[in-house]
Amino acid sequence: MTILYFNNRYYLAVLLFLLTGFSVPGFAQSRKNISFNQDWTFRKTNDTINTKSVWEKVTLPHTWNAIDMQLGKDFYEGEGQYKKEVVFGPEYKNKRLFLRFEGVGQVAQVYVNHKLVGTHKGSYSAFCLDITYAVKLGESNSILVKVNNKARKDIIPVNHFLFGIYGGIYRPVSLLVTNKVNITTTDYASPGIYISQKNVTAKSAEVSVAVKIENTEKSGQDIDIKTDIIDHTGKIVSSKTSAQHMTTQGRQQFSQDFQLTSPHLWNGFNDPYLYKVRTQLLLNQTVIDEVEQPLGLRKFEIIAGKGFFLNDQPYAMHGVCRHQDRWQYGNALSNAQHKEDLDIIKEMGATTIRFAHYQQAEYLYSTCDTMGFVIWAEIPFVNTSTGEEADNAKQQLMELIKQNYNHPSIYVWGLHNEVYGKTPADFPAVLTRDLNDIAKTEDPYRYTVSVSGYGEMDRPTNLNADIQGMNRYYGWYEGKIGDLETWAKTTETIYPDNKLILTEYGADGNIFQQQEQADLKEEYDYTSPFYPENFETKTHEIQWPIIAKHPYITASYIWNMFDFATPMWNRGSMPARNMKGLVTFDRKLKKDAFYWYKANWSKEPVLYLTERRTTARKHAVTPVTVYSNIGQPVLYVNDKKISAAPVQGTNAVQYIFKDIQLKKGINKIKTVIKKDNKIYTDHIDWSLQ
């Protein structure tokens, strides 16, 4: 059983409550945000294997599919239940209590003392429920959450095909405690304040802060709304206070406008500078509620044919896509694991991330603000449509926007990925237009995007958002690797005024399957059981230089940063796995293609020999490829320096030593560069059969 109290004064509060019937004056005046992740028990209610359905102790975040969904299609899909007993102390008298769930997969029914207090549909967005009326102070309260991850036609995603819908309360839960006059917590689980910015330059910026407030007192209240804009040193650079009368009838919204002079701009990785906005409600000069949110002042702009601009300067959009799951953890990840992913992405030199194909952890968006990543956020309207999911898609888009409105790193809202209709009047196109209207109404200051898996701009469901995204897998699902060049030229010629992003590209690479360069072609049959890592490497070696010379491609996103689970698939001799990642599912091994991009994108020195897992060789004469962004490398084979200079590969960081003679048995390959009085080396061993 959990006993909730503030500041270790629970027993004093209990005594005073019993003696007087009142809470302690001045006790916990403003809101509290209390972790609610401990002391849960869990059971699967419809598990045909575990028929006893035993309750087990768990700590949130938790998923019941951490293993089975990553092994194949025979995973547990259905209901699970989470239970917790809580005593709320007397200090909660005259307070409002809310349970805020950051992510539950995918339908949640929440009961307090056997009373249904709310239902939520959708695995990836937060929801917040008022439980005040259902709680009994000073007694044990039963919290029961019924969770179901069964795919449904009326909830996006409607199937487990592109990725699995993990079951469980897989993100953190919080207890929010406020006074009866409070900044709203239940406007789609948003922070309750919405920070807009426009006309941002190095000379000035216009900032507007809207706050939504609720009054559940028995009478109207005269309050002050005070908003401060605070710089990174803690100095208040601008402040406004306005007096308002809060009626008891409905949620009310108020706005405060600011004009900042010579603002310090948020500038991506160059300078991810953040202000802080603090909005307070004051009653008789006492703070009764307070919310803080980040403010990064920046200007995003896409100019067709020229690319992406940040604060009126060209900004390289080197991008990757990221799925949130991890080997043997499912999607129930810690903040440390999320941060590890971001650190790996940053190490490679990527500047932008497409969080696909759904809303991801709040920690990620906040950390991207502070690190300087430029972010694409989207909803899971993917793969197919049923005609029954419109209401849920609109709900999830509202949640995505309202919950993440204040993150300066987000530049675009994604509306759908690879959902098709035969005419512009079919369900997917109509729903996409409706979603676009919602996004532009709720947030007119950001772009919208929809994504097609075809290369033609005039597909019936296309051109319903500000940006048209296209997924192109030349060499893997169609054509040859180099066909990307023809597509880019043709599209740019026919549609020069359209904003275009290459939203996915790449190929699978199974690290346990290898093929020598001499045996690689420029096209592959993805239905084969053989997915050599080398083909993935070759795909990226050819396609990145094509992308780099076409500014018409505003941004490009590698599919994918990490291997991830696809429970309905059985491809490349690896069941339930998409292996297009540049890093393995467990994050322990970085594939050759990772270092290709690191050499091209990162400012860190890179010297790397490729084909390091292609250790068993059958060709006695072979090329050796080196990635180097620090100059021309020297090569040694079996301790003998190769006198012939390397030829340039597809771009300036690729060096190919041709016609290298191997001997029978073990061959020691070594490359060396001396730069700025520092020696860089890399080596691998190959065995010629």
pLDDT digit string (tens) for 346-362? 999 999 999 999 999 99
Can you tell me the distance from the alpha carbon of 449 to that of 413, in angstroms, rounded to the nearest whole number?
Answer: 6
Instruction: Work out the average pLDDT over 81-99.
Output: 96
- In this prediction, residues 485-504 reach a mean pLDDT of 97
What span, in angstroms and rounded, lies between the C-alpha atoms of 485 and 351? Answer: 23
pLDDT of residue 452: 97
CB 202 within 8 A of CB 311: yes
Enter the tokens of residue 284. Answer: 């008789």
Average pLDDT over residues 659-688: 97
Is 177 in contact with 92 (CB distance < 8 Å)? yes
Position 320 scores a pLDDT of: 98
Phi, psi values for residue 448, rounded to 5°: -120, 155
Reported as a pLDDT band with limits 50, 70 and 90, residue 7 is very low
Q: What is the pLDDT of residue 50?
A: 53
Active site residues: 418
Residue 20's pLDDT band, with cuts at 50, 70 and 90, is very low
Tokens of 159: 């199937």
Residue 105: helix, strand or coil by DSSP?
strand
User: What pLDDT was estimated at residue 46?
Assistant: 76
CA 451, distance to chain mean position in Å, is: 17
pLDDT at 639 (0 to 100): 97
pLDDT in tens, 374-392: 999 999 999 999 999 999 9
Q: How far apart are CA 235 and CA 101, in angstroms?
A: 33
Q: What is the DSSP string of 405-422?
A: TT-TTEEEEEEEES---S
**Is residue 97 scored above 90 in pLDDT?**
yes
Across-strand partners of 666? 687
Per-residue pLDDT reduced to its tens digit, 532-571:
999 999 999 999 999 999 999 999 999 999 999 999 999 9
> What digits encode the pLDDT tens for the residues 290-349?
999 999 999 999 999 999 999 999 999 999 999 999 999 999 999 999 999 999 999 999
365: left (phi over 0), alpha (psi -120 to 50) or beta: alpha
Tell me the Cα Rg of the chain: 28
> What is the rounded average pLDDT of the residues 366-375?
98
Tell me the pLDDT tens digit for each residue of 509-524: 999 999 999 899 999 9
SS3 395: helix
Within 10 angstroms of residue 349's Cβ, the number of other Cβ atoms is: 19
Q: What is the mean pLDDT of the chain?
A: 94
| Residues 143, 141: Cα–Cα separation, whole Å | 6
pLDDT one-digit tens code per residue, 201-235: 999 999 999 999 999 999 999 999 999 999 999 99
> What is the torsional sign of CA 369, 371, 373, 377?
negative
State yes or no: cis peptide before 191, omega within 30 of 0: no
**CA gap 380, 539 in Å, rounded:** 27
Distance of CA 618 to the CA centre of its chain: 43
At 9 the pLDDT is 43
In the predicted structure, residue 17 carries a pLDDT above the cut 50? no
Mind listing the domains of the chain with CATH numbers? Answer: 2-179 (2.60.120.260), 193-295 (2.60.40.10), 313-604 (3.20.20.80), 616-688 (2.60.40.10)
The DSSP bridge pattern shows strands 252-261 and 271-272 to be: unpaired
pLDDT confidence of 14, banded at 50, 70, 90?
Answer: very low
Per-residue confidence band for 433, with pLDDT thresholds at 50, 70 and 90? very high
CB burial string 202-236: b at 16+ within 10 A, e below: eeebebebbbbbbbeeeeebebebbbbbbbeeeee
Q: Lowest mean pLDDT: which of 18-27, 156-165, 291-300, 541-550?
A: 18-27
The structure's pTM equals 0.94
Query: What share of the chain in percent tops pLDDT 90?
Result: 94
CA 229 remoteness from chain centre: 27
pLDDT (mean) for 618-644: 97
Residue 262 has pLDDT above 90, yes or no: yes
Q: For residue 2, what pLDDT band results from cuts at 50, 70 and 90?
A: confident
* For residue 28, pLDDT beyond 60: no
* Dist CA 335 CA 650 (whole Å): 38
Instruction: Taking residues 410-428, report their average pLDDT.
Output: 97
Question: Which phi-psi region, left, alpha or beta, contains residue 40 (left: φ > 0; alpha: ψ -120 to 50)?
Answer: beta
Q: What is the DSSP string of 153-173?
A: TTSSS-SSSSS----B--S-E
Given this model, what pLDDT does residue 5 score? 57
At residue 30, does pLDDT exceed 90?
no
pLDDT of residue 52: 55
Q: Which residues contact 441 (CB under 8 A, 6 or more apart)?
A: none
Check pLDDT > 90 for residue 47. no
Are the beta carbons of 397 and 390 closer than 8 angstroms? Answer: no
Q: How confident is the model at residue 449 (pLDDT cuts 50, 70, 90)?
A: very high
364 CB burial (10 A radius; 0-12, 13-18, 19+): buried
- The pLDDT score that the predictor gives to residue 25 is 33
Are the CB atoms for 524 and 480 separated by under 8 Å?
no
